[in-house]
Amino acid sequence: MIKGKFIDNLPKVYGIYTGGFLVFIIIMAIAEQAGMTAKMIGIFFVSFTVLIYALIGWLSRTLQTDAYYVAGRQVPTVFNGMATAADWMSGASFVAMAGGIYFKGYGYMALLVGWTGGYVLVASLLAPYLRKFGCYTVPDFIGTRYGGNLARFSAVIVLTVASFTYVTAQINATGTIASVALDIPFEIAVYVGLASILMCSMLGGMRAVTWTQVAQYIVLIIAYLLPVFWISNNIGAGFFPHFMLADEVARIAELEGQFGFVKNSAADLATVPKGLSAITKAHSSVNATPWAFISLAVCMMAGTASLPHVMMRYFTTPSVRTARRSVGWSLFFIFLLYSSAPMLATLSKISLMDPNLATGIIGKSITEVQALDWYQNWNQAKLMFVSDFNGNGTLELNEFFMKGSAVVLATPEIAGLPYVISGLVAAGGMAAAMSTADGLVLAISNALSHDVYYKIINPKAETAKRLIVARVLLVLIGFAGATIAALEIQGILGSVIWAFDFAMSGLFFPLVLGVWWKRANAPGAVAGMLLGLISGTAYLVWVRSGGSGFLGITQLTFGIVGAAVSLVSMIVVSLITAAPDAATQKMVDDVRVPSGKTILGKQH
């Protein structure tokens, strides 16, 4: 069936894969009709997809450094776009985003704008130039452009802090989903998630991660879009929700006015399980100040352009031109999901709130709601809660509590879709969290194995030894991440936002100025990275420990402080120390034109 080189057959291979997955969904739907239990369907969905990823990971095993680090630099534009989209869209995007929009409304939409707008910076400021450089990792660029082990090592520190914060959240997400779908305790599920992640990346490095990420993107986008379109049709909102939900948005505003936002007393709230909230903010009105919105968006945009696991995806394209176009495709594939998240939040809200719909629960009697099947299931999973605070016997808007992740996970069931869709959504969430965790674990272990071990500690190491070190580090970092994830220190979404702020604090300006400012030198870059990271972290610690902060910068936007310090210190230190030598200046000139050889060789 498949002849010739794998790369030439990609559309065919993934076409068959997608068809196979759709057939699998249909088989599951038939099995559900034939009486298969919801639990079995969940187990089938998650384990079947994870096994496929593991198979791809095994088939992509490699013993070559350029295949291990940059997938042999032969990933075509569109496929790299899909892989980046999966790499990018984490458990937070898939499971938490619609919930955030559902509860916070406008203020939260800054994340949507920030997480997409950042790609314009990636495409115009960085990706094509870093591709021309020919580096294996982001610290590889910093180390070669600025010269010296100190610059390289500083970049590794920033990368590790940012990516590690991020990866614990992703392993936490895989654990959460695996524990619900496979019905095992969270502490064990975290390691099941870790094992799946390592199976995809250990043998084949970047090559294996690339081809599993494409497969994961296909699963996650089907799992996200299918319920959105289905629910929209089910409640008669329109067959294409993105263009047809205006009436529903207006109706929600009307209902909000009717029900009112009643503030719960502290004593009442104390009875609500941790992490659950009621709707307290209007769905579509502008409820945040311009600065609150813009500062969060700016942090997410600059963070996007500094996160190494995203940047390194553009090292895998065959050329500078394809790297540039690939950024556009990445954003297109991300856009498909991100533009659907607000629609899902709208559909979820209207399903629950509108008394004219069969699914509406606000205004019904409390006992009636408590008797609903789906309520009992999700209440048991500690994702939903109702309580008659005012004692009037009917459910008010402020008396219905839900966890953010329930918006994605439970809406299909609330809207009366068959359970097969819930199983599909679980598989999609698993794919999203796994693909991002893979990219992150690989980014950290590649930086440690290539930049710290090979470039600094043992430059004479042979290929086989380098790749063994890379794999051992991969496993160690995975285990460290899982151990911390099992402690559940910070929520999924909070950790992800912090990761962006860390990356922005330490890496944004050293990366951008490395290409766009010839005068930038090693002492300046080191100062920019370290002082940026330290000041950002200090601000975070200060605000977390009760500090009042300044200029309305919160613990979610501390990257603004870090990046500002980074920029100023980098410029000042660069200008008071000697300009980079002629060879470095020539290197920057070469990076700026697409033609000619890459700065670093194919194998280095």
Q: Which residues bind other proteins (CB under 8 A)?
A: 73, 106, 109-110, 112-114, 116-117, 119-121, 123-125, 128, 134, 242-247, 249-250, 284-286, 288, 290, 293-294, 297-298, 301, 318-321, 324-325, 327-328, 331-332, 335, 338-339, 342-343, 589, 592-598, 602
Our CB check for other proteins shows the closer of 279 and 327 to be: 327
Q: Are 420 and 26 in contact, with CB atoms under 8 Å apart?
A: no
Largest Cα–Cα distance of the chain, in whole Å?
79
Q: 269, 493, 278: which is closest to 384 by C-alpha?
A: 278
**Chain Cα centroid distance, residue 590:** 33
Q: 124, 153, 141, 152: which is closest to 584 by C-alpha?
A: 141
Our CB check for other proteins shows the closer of 104 and 471 to be: 104
Token pair 């029900």: residue: 259
Copy the structure tokens of residue 111.
Answer: 């994340």
Which residues are CB-contacts of 246 (< 8 A; sequence separation ≥ 6)? none
Residue 97: CB minimum distance to other proteins, A: 12
Q: ∠151-152-155 over CA atoms, to 5°? A: 85
Our CB check for other proteins shows the closer of 320 and 434 to be: 320
User: Distance (Å, rounded) from C-alpha 532 to C-alpha 141?
Assistant: 18
Residue 527: CB minimum distance to other proteins, A: 25
Residue 58: CB minimum distance to other proteins, A: 28
Number of Cβ within 10 Å of residue 100's Cβ equals: 21
What backbone phi and psi angles, to 5 degrees, belong to 262? -85, 130
Residue 482: CB minimum distance to other proteins, A: 33
Residue 361: CB minimum distance to other proteins, A: 25
Residue 93: CB minimum distance to other proteins, A: 13
Our CB check for other proteins shows the closer of 382 and 602 to be: 602
Residue 342: CB minimum distance to other proteins, A: 4
User: Distance (Å, rounded) from C-alpha 326 to C-alpha 337?
Assistant: 17
**Burial of residue 439 (number of CB atoms within 10 Å: 0-12, 13-18, 19+):** buried
Our CB check for other proteins shows the closer of 468 and 593 to be: 593
312, amino acid identity: M
User: Distance (Å, rounded) from C-alpha 567 to C-alpha 506?
Assistant: 10
Which residues, listed in sequence order, are joined to residue 401 by a DSSP beta bridge? 385
Our CB check for other proteins shows the closer of 177 and 206 to be: 206
Residue 335: CB minimum distance to other proteins, A: 5
Our CB check for other proteins shows the closer of 257 and 275 to be: 257
Residue 463: CB minimum distance to other proteins, A: 20
User: Distance (Å, rounded) from C-alpha 186 to C-alpha 173?
Assistant: 10
Our CB check for other proteins shows the closer of 96 and 512 to be: 512
Please, where are the H alpha helices in 183-244? 186-201, 205-234, 241-244
Q: What is the chain's alpha carbon radius of gyration, rounded to the nearest angstrom?
A: 24
Residue 570: CB minimum distance to other proteins, A: 19
Our CB check for other proteins shows the closer of 25 and 122 to be: 122
Our CB check for other proteins shows the closer of 85 and 219 to be: 85
Q: 407, 280, 289, 286: which is closest to 341 by C-alpha?
A: 407
Q: Are 502 and 161 in contact, with CB atoms under 8 Å apart?
A: yes
Residue 522: CB minimum distance to other proteins, A: 23
Our CB check for other proteins shows the closer of 115 and 230 to be: 115
Q: ∠394-398-404 over CA atoms, to 5°? A: 120
